[in-house]
Structure 1
Amino acid sequence: MADSTMAVSQWSPSFVEELLPAAEKTALLYQLSYLCLANFPNLERTIRSRAVETQLLFSSSDATMLKCILTSDNLVQSLFPMLTTAVEKNKPRLAVKYLEKARAWITDIIKDVDRIVEKYDLHNKDISSATSDVVTEKSNTDKDIAKKDQELTATETTLNQQKSELQNVNAEIDQIEKKINDKSQEIQDFAKSMSQTSKGLGIFAAIVPFVGLLVKSIYDSVNDPKNIAKMKALEAELNNLIGDKTAAKQKQWQLQLRIIDWQMKVATASFDRTSIPDPIHLDEVQSSLTKIQSIMIQLKNFWEKVAQMLIYLEQKTFVGEDLIDDLEDLKDEFLKSISAAKGAWTSFGAGCQKASVIFKLQTKDSYKFLEVSPSSLSKEEWQQMYEEVKAKLGKIDPPPSLQSSDKPAICQESAEH
């Protein structure tokens, strides 16, 4: 059953946990941008327009998540039961028909997610244009402003130091992620080598695209102590790398919060001097939207891999004559794989449901600040609102990789199944 096209996705059903802080952060950073551009009506209108566009984009993202929910439900409620029936009745042609239908669903989702990714790209360009407008107007109003005083310079120096440290941490995380991908590939290759002696393992790898379940299936299928020891060593190495990534991302998260705080100090100093602040928070808005776009790209890549696996399953299990002959012998292994797949896909659908709720909340409640012009606020009201937004930023829960989900992504699944 081993084949070069077979792949194991690193996409976790808990992906939604990374989406929540990015979406919350986007709205709060818009609000900070809105506050910092008080008394500049043209720029206020620009921020309001871009924020409304983001709300509409989140609404479209919610619709895409709904399609993922429905497709996951169709896999659990329709495809898997129909495949089970086809296998039990030893009807490979019927199974091929069902798999082709599932691939049509998934192809439609891939196109839909791709459209959303393009919308995020265009929206980020709009925000970049807005940032350029702010920069231009700032340049026109700053011609008569003296050089920044010593306190502001010191604040900017600290901010730049924090940014430099964050760049170093980002580079460290990139290196760790590469090592994690390499180690995951090593586990995948090991699973492929084992499939030479266990066709059931090969079927399992093709239909259950989650690493944790694959690791457990290796333990269940391999009896050789040497191979078991090798699998344990690979799993330990992967968990160690994930632990390193968790620590690095915790540091990254704390640096990001400190940078936002120092950026606000610079913005406040500029505000007090009647200068238009640098559009720092619009840059951060772009970063948050890019994070959400990255999640959507991962979602698209996930569905593409699932589509490839279904093709592999169709061609290698139900079309190849040698495997049709073995279908009766593989029936039990196939039905076990179907049972495990139902649980995994149900969990994935639940993750998409949570993502849908997040997009709905952001669309409905998080942009009410647009109803009040910041130029209408007194200095005291402005300061109070700034403190409230800053406090909300500090309460945003870190992504799961900063808490516990990265490492248990393997351990928990193995324990539960």
Structure 2
Amino acid sequence: MADTSLAVSPFSPTFVRELTPAAEKIALLYYLSYLCLGKFSKLERTIRTRAVETQTLFTYSDATMTKCVLTSDNLVNTLFPLLVKTVEKNKPTMAVKFLGKAQVWITDIITDVREIVKRYDAHNIDLATAASDVYQEKEETDKNIAKQDQELKGIKDALDSMKKLLDDKTKELAETEKKIISKSQEIQELVRSITQESKGLGVVAAIVPFIGQIIKSIYDAAKSPEQVAKLKALEAELKILSDEKSDLKHKQWQVQLQIIDQQMKAAKASFDRSSIPDPIYLPEVQKSLTIIRDILGELLNFWLKVRDLLVSLEQKTFAGEDFLDEFDTFKDEFIDSIQKATEAWSSFAASCRSASVIFQLQNKDAYRFLEVSPSSLSKEQWQIQYTSVKEKLQKIDPTRNYTSPAIPATAIPATATPAISA
């Protein structure tokens, strides 16, 4: 049988909820940087260059997500049906062959995801350099400015206070996250002990590395009321912690909005005095890019885990000596497991498809502001755009359950990874 100890992964098909606000925030922060620094031609070119690099990065990210969709679809439409046939025909060697070919797909995706993660790391370094260049230019320009006016000093005092408040909220959030991880591990340990008692559930746990998709089956497999009660209690505790985390993230975002508002005021005060404002938004762009990079890093670890699970399934189930001996009792459970796995992987493919569309839409529409130089705007036009971006930022809520954007018919190509042939 497959080793169910490998069947736990923190990655979830709901990752798109984190991706959407991060991608939207990046474009708006670039827009603010462009407005506040675009008055200076050298810095305008710097912002434009980095924004275009981000667009290119999103194009590669879209392609990577598309490949995840195609491979997930191939698991559902090709591999799983073939595995069912091998069980029905009692041909474990054929199953091993199919699993080996599937591992080639997974290895190919691992290479692509690892490469895109490297691109995000390199791009963040470029952004850090861009921020440094702005500071250097600012230092040279500000040599002729003797003092800050009282309004700017008051803004900075308020900003320091809000940053301290943000640090406090961030620490609270980190502590809650630790509790969630700890509670999740308790659930995983309990689930692992339950799945080890069921061969069929052991197989589906090996094929589906996210517990939420098979939780009903886990309850059905529990051997005692004590197991069910304990699992429900742990889930309830995890729900409380998750709600607490959501509330803290909302409060953290509200403080961030206040900080951004104060930063806008400081930037405008400097702008009106013909001084180069601090590149305050570029580090924020880096933070949002890091969120996307970390999501892709989790995706990389997820596919590495899937590859290990397929190897385990191949070696410890179909290649095991007990396959033929236990075939009669194994057959129905295995087919039922494949059906559950199909539903879970279809959900994962849908999330990857939504993520692909997010990258497409951001790449297509969100950077049109680059078509107009801020230096060509009148003071009134500049203020209108500035206010508009601020309002859009305020509408972003990282705790909101974003619905998937409409998926164009041409968003995902019809062709898929070459199917496995018998």
Residue aligning to 1:262: 262
Quick one: distance in 2 between partners of 1:213 and 1:25?
30
Following TM superposition, by how much is the alpha carbon of 1:127 offset from its aligned partner in structure 2, in angstroms? 0.9
Residue aligning to 2:248: 248
Residue aligning to 2:85: 85
Following TM superposition, by how much is the alpha carbon of 1:383 offset from its aligned partner in structure 2, in angstroms? 0.8
Written as runs of structure 1 = structure 2, the 5 A alignment for 1:399-410 is: 399=398, 401-403=399-401
The answer as to 2:174 corresponding to 1:174 is yes
Residue aligning to 2:207: 207
Following TM superposition, by how much is the alpha carbon of 1:94 offset from its aligned partner in structure 2, in angstroms? 1.1
Specify the SS of the correspondent of 2:23: helix
Written as runs of structure 1 = structure 2, the 5 A alignment for 1:18-57 is: 18-57=18-57
Following TM superposition, by how much is the alpha carbon of 1:150 offset from its aligned partner in structure 2, in angstroms? 2.2
- Taking a change above 3 Å as real, the CA distance of residues 2 and 56 of structure 1, as seen in their structure-2 partners, is closer
Residue aligning to 2:351: 351
Amino acid at match of 1:23: A
Displaced runs of 4 or more, over 4 A: 1-5, 401-405
Residue aligning to 2:102: 102
Following TM superposition, by how much is the alpha carbon of 1:5 offset from its aligned partner in structure 2, in angstroms? 4.8
- Taking a change above 3 Å as real, the CA distance of residues 3 and 78 of structure 1, as seen in their structure-2 partners, is closer
> TM-score, normalising length from structure 2?
0.92
Following TM superposition, by how much is the alpha carbon of 1:52 offset from its aligned partner in structure 2, in angstroms? 0.8
Q: Which deviations, in whole Å up to 9, do the C-alpha atoms of 1:359-384 show, x marking residues without a partner? A: 11111111111111101111111111
Q: Is the 8 A contact 2:2 2:202 kept in 1?
A: yes
Residue aligning to 2:294: 294
Following TM superposition, by how much is the alpha carbon of 1:26 offset from its aligned partner in structure 2, in angstroms? 0.7
The answer as to 2:392 corresponding to 1:392 is yes
Comparing 216-225 with 380-389, greater Cα deviation is found at: 216-225
Quick one: distance in 2 between partners of 1:241 and 1:130?
39
Comparing 269-278 with 216-225, greater Cα deviation is found at: 216-225
Q: Is the 8 A contact 2:4 2:192 kept in 1?
A: no
Quick one: distance in 2 between partners of 1:4 and 1:198?
10
Residue aligning to 1:413: none
Quick one: distance in 1 between partners of 2:314 and 2:188?
20
- Taking a change above 3 Å as real, the CA distance of residues 338 and 84 of structure 1, as seen in their structure-2 partners, is same
Residue aligning to 1:411: none
Amino acid at match of 1:70: L
Specify the SS of the correspondent of 2:39: coil
Written as runs of structure 1 = structure 2, the 5 A alignment for 1:96-175 is: 96-175=96-175
Q: Which deviations, in whole Å up to 9, do the C-alpha atoms of 1:157-188 show, x marking residues without a partner? A: 21122222222222222222222222222222
The answer as to 2:305 corresponding to 1:305 is yes
Specify the SS of the correspondent of 1:328: helix
Q: Which deviations, in whole Å up to 9, do the C-alpha atoms of 1:169-224 show, x marking residues without a partner? A: 22222222222222222222212222343222221211122221343222111231
Specify the SS of the correspondent of 2:144: coil
Following TM superposition, by how much is the alpha carbon of 1:4 offset from its aligned partner in structure 2, in angstroms? 7.6
Quick one: distance in 1 between partners of 2:326 and 2:180?
36
Identity between Structure 1 and Structure 2 (%): 61
Specify the SS of the correspondent of 1:146: coil
Amino acid at match of 1:61: S
Following TM superposition, by how much is the alpha carbon of 1:323 offset from its aligned partner in structure 2, in angstroms? 4.1
Specify the SS of the correspondent of 2:18: helix
Residue aligning to 1:331: 331
Specify the SS of the correspondent of 1:11: coil
> TM-score, normalising length from structure 1?
0.93
Q: Is the 8 A contact 1:2 1:196 kept in 2?
A: no
Following TM superposition, by how much is the alpha carbon of 1:402 offset from its aligned partner in structure 2, in angstroms? 4.5
Comparing 74-83 with 211-220, greater Cα deviation is found at: 211-220
Q: Is the 8 A contact 1:12 1:210 kept in 2?
A: yes
Specify the SS of the correspondent of 1:39: coil
| Corresponding pairs, count | 403
- Taking a change above 3 Å as real, the CA distance of residues 179 and 381 of structure 1, as seen in their structure-2 partners, is same
Q: Which deviations, in whole Å up to 9, do the C-alpha atoms of 1:68-113 show, x marking residues without a partner? A: 1100110111011011111111211111111111111111101101
Specify the SS of the correspondent of 2:209: coil
Q: Is the 8 A contact 1:2 1:192 kept in 2?
A: no
Q: Is the 8 A contact 2:58 2:359 kept in 1?
A: yes
Quick one: distance in 1 between partners of 2:237 and 2:360?
39
* Ranges in structure 2 where 5+ consecutive residues have no aligned partner: 404-422
Q: Which deviations, in whole Å up to 9, do the C-alpha atoms of 1:268-297 show, x marking residues without a partner? A: 111111110000011111111111111111
Amino acid at match of 2:128: S
Tell me the C-alpha RMSD between the 2 structures. 1.7
Following TM superposition, by how much is the alpha carbon of 1:3 offset from its aligned partner in structure 2, in angstroms? 4.3
Amino acid at match of 2:34: Y
Comparing 177-186 with 375-384, greater Cα deviation is found at: 177-186
Following TM superposition, by how much is the alpha carbon of 1:149 offset from its aligned partner in structure 2, in angstroms? 2.1
Residue aligning to 2:67: 67
- Taking a change above 3 Å as real, the CA distance of residues 3 and 341 of structure 1, as seen in their structure-2 partners, is closer
